[in-house]
């Protein structure tokens, strides 16, 4: 299996002028865009509501 970073670097080499920015989901936090973790917690809350289940303040718990 090919390493994803190797695949990415080969793709960038083949497509001159293309760029890749590898960042974590927290980078969007400053722009008030939900992080990956916040989206996950929101999804857990929504699933709990559809299942008529109560959830605590910490949805993962």
Query: Domain ranges in the chain?
Result: 25-61
Express each pLDDT in 32-44 by its tens digit: 888 878 888 888 8
CA distances (Å), origin 59, targets 1, 14, 19, 47: 36, 44, 37, 10
Instruction: Tell me the two tokens of residue 18.
Output: 């293309």
Is the pTM for the entire model greater than 0.75?
A: no
pLDDT score of 14: 93
- Cβ atoms of 16 and 9 closer than 8 Å: no
Task: For the chain, give the number of residues.
Answer: 61
* CA atoms within 13 A of residue 1's CA, in its CB half-sphere: 2
pLDDT score of 15: 92
């Amino acid at each position: 299996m090919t390493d994803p970073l190797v695949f990415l670097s080969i793709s960038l080499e083949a497509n001159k002028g293309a760029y890749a920015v590898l960042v974590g989901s927290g980078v969007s936090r400053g722009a008030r865009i939900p992080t990956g973790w916040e989206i996950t917690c929101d999804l857990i809350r929504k699933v709990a509501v559809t299942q008529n289940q109560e959830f605590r303040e910490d949805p993962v718990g």
